Amino acid sequence: MTDIQKSISEKYCPRFGQIAIEMGFITEAQLKEALCIQVDEELAGKSRRLLGAILFDKDLMTGDQIERVLNAVLQKTRMEENAGKGQK
């Protein structure tokens, strides 16, 4: 995994899972399963896969659902960054 991929994963994965649950695409149990897979693969020396990729590979989310969650994550991130700058 490149430094850029790792940075993206660390910044957006926790939000990705939370938002996917909020949008009704996955359950908490499915998120926990995907997180366990992510950790197990990393401990086995494999490169860290993004949660969306794991959920897609397990047929728990569609490409369209992943895109919708990513758009929500980016929108939320922008709002938080603007709030931190004193903007609305």
Task: Please state the domain extents for the chain.
Answer: 14-84
pLDDT interval class at 13 (50, 70, 90): low
Q: According to the model, what pLDDT value does residue 76 have? A: 85
Q: According to the model, what pLDDT value does residue 2 have? A: 63
CA atoms within a 13 Å half-sphere pointing along the CA-CB vector of 37: 16
Q: Are 30 and 60 in contact (CB under 8 A)?
A: yes
Q: Residues 54-66, buried b or exposed e (16+ Cβ, 10 A)?
A: bbbeeebbeeebb
Q: According to the model, what pLDDT value does residue 80 have? A: 79
Task: Kindly report, residue by residue over 27-86, the tens digit of the pLDDT.
Answer: 999 999 999 999 999 999 998 899 999 999 999 999 999 999 999 998 888 887 888 777
pTM of the model: 0.75
